[in-house]
Amino acid sequence: MAASGVAHSALRIFACEPEWAALAEEIGGDRVKVFTATTPFQDAHHIEARPSLIAKVRRADMLICTGAELEVGWLPLLLRQSGNDAIQIGQPGYFLAAEVVDRLEVPERLDRSEGDIHAAGNPHVHLDPRRLLLIAQAFTERLTLVDPDNADWYRARTEDFGRRWQQAIHRWQAGSSQLQGESVVVYHTAFSYLLDWLGIKAVADLEPKPGLPPTTAHLAKVLATVKSSQPRAILVASFQDDKAAAWLADRSGLPVIRLPFTVGGDPAAKDLFGLFEITLSLLQGLQSSSRMHPAVPVGLSDSPRAVASPIRPVNSAQLHLRPQKTTGDLVSPFSSGRSGV
C-alpha cells in the first residue's frame, strides 16, 4: 500500500552523489531536505561507510543513488546498519537512478580478469541529459508515493523542470553539433554517456582495464594509438588523478581537459544546468585545438563561464524508462516507454 505522509516538515532525502542531490532539490524545492554522501572530488566507487553516513541513512525518509553497482562497496553496509525499513531495497523510499533507464556497456559475459566490470552496465547515466529527464520523471512518481501530501507540488515542479530542461537540451544541441565525430582519450569510462550523446569517440583509455591504474607499458600503447588516430584531447574528471594524463600530454602534445563530472566539480557547475553548460563550454576546446601542439591543461579555475553549446538530437526511441520493483502490493507507477524526450 502507499506510504503515508511524513510527520516532519521537510522530507529527508539521502543522496549518494551530488547529481542526485541536485535533482532532488530541483524537484522537491523547500519541501525536501537533502544530504549528499559524497563530494565532486571523491570517486563514488570507493567510499567508507562511516558512522556519520549510517546516522544520516537512519534518519532518511528516502534514498536516491546511482545503482548499477556503483555504490556496491558501501551502500549495502549503510542500509544494513541503519535499521531504517523505509529505505531498504524494494521499498518506495529506495530509488536507484540507473535502474530506470537503459544503460551502455552491459557486458555479454562476466570475466573479472577484464577488470572491475559492472554487470549492470556503465553506471554514470547522469551525463546524458535525455536519460536524466527520464530519471527525474521516475523519481517524481516515487516521491509522490513516499510523500503523497505533496504530490501535486512535486509534479508541478517536475513539469517546470522538464520544460526548462528540454529547452536547454535543444539549445545545447544547437551549439555543439560540430563536436560530432571528434575523438578523445579518456580515463575510465566516466564519460561514456556524455560522449555517446555528443557523438565523440573515445579512441583510448588511460586505464589498461576498468578500475586498474595506468601502467607505463599501457601508456606507451596509448601513446602509439594517439599518434595513429590523432585525437583532440585527454579528458579527466574532477575526482581523477591527472598524473597519467600529464605523462601522455607531455609526450603527445595533447591538451588535458578536466571536466566537472558532477554538480560542484567546477565553480560554474552550481546545479544540473550549470554542469552541462560548463562541460560543453570546455569541450569547445576540441574544435579550437590542433591535433599536435604543446600541452595546454584546462583546469577548474581557468574554465570559462559556459555558453550555449551542440549535440545529437534527442531520439526517444533509443531510450526506455525501466520500472523499479517494490515489495508487497505496491505497484510501480511508471513503466517502459511511459515518458520520453
Is residue 337 scored above 60 in pLDDT? Answer: no
Residue with cell 588516430: 229
CB distance 259 to 236 below 8 Å: yes
| Average pLDDT of the residues of the chain | 84
CA distances from 331 to 61, 92, 258 (A): 19, 10, 43
* 321 DSSP β-pair partners: 101
- The answer to whether 33 and 147 are in contact (CB under 8 A) is no
Task: Record the cell numbers describing residue 288, joined without a space.
Answer: 579550437
Cα separation, 37 vs 63, in Å, equals 11
Q: How does pLDDT run across 213-248, given as a tens digit for each residue?
A: 999 999 999 999 999 999 999 999 999 999 999 999
pLDDT tens, position by position, 151-198: 999 999 999 999 999 999 999 999 999 999 999 999 989 999 999 999
Q: In this predicted structure, what is the pLDDT of residue 112?
A: 62
Q: Which residues contact 129 (CB under 8 A, 6 or more apart)?
A: 165, 168, 169, 172, 197, 276
How many angstroms separate the CA atoms of 197 and 129, rounded? 8
User: pLDDT tens, 96-121?
Assistant: 999 999 999 887 776 665 556 667 78
Separation CA 88–CA 125 (nearest Å): 22
What are the grid coordinates assigned to 210, written together?
576498468
Whole-number Å distance between alpha carbons of 75 and 97: 14
Give pLDDT, residue 272. Answer: 99
Identify whether the C-beta of residue 336 lies closer than 8 Å to the C-beta of residue 319: no
Helix intervals (H) in 253-315: 272-283, 285-288
pTM of the model as a whole: 0.82
Rounded CA separation 209/205 (Å): 8
Longest CA span, the chain: 63
What does the alpha-carbon distance between residue 301 and residue 172 come to, in Å, rounded to a whole number? 23
Does residue 128 register a pLDDT over 50?
yes
Placement of cell 578523445 in the chain:
184
pLDDT for position 285: 78
Give me 265's grid cell: 566539480
In one-letter notation, the amino acid at residue 80 is R
Which domains does the chain possess? 11-170 (3.40.50.1980), 180-288 (3.40.50.1980)
Q: Which residue has the higher pLDDT, 304 or 236?
A: 236
Mean pLDDT of 261-287: 95
* Sign, Cα dihedral of 161, 11, 63, 144: negative
Give the DSSP letter string of 225-250: HHHHH--SEEEEETTS--HHHHHHHH
- Report yes or no: 211 and 116 within 8 Å, Cβ to Cβ: yes
DSSP state of 85: G
Is residue 303's pLDDT more than 70? no
- Residue 169 CA to residue 309 CA, distance in Å, equals 9
Order of strands across the sheet that contains 201-205: 201-205, 183-186, 233-237, 256-259
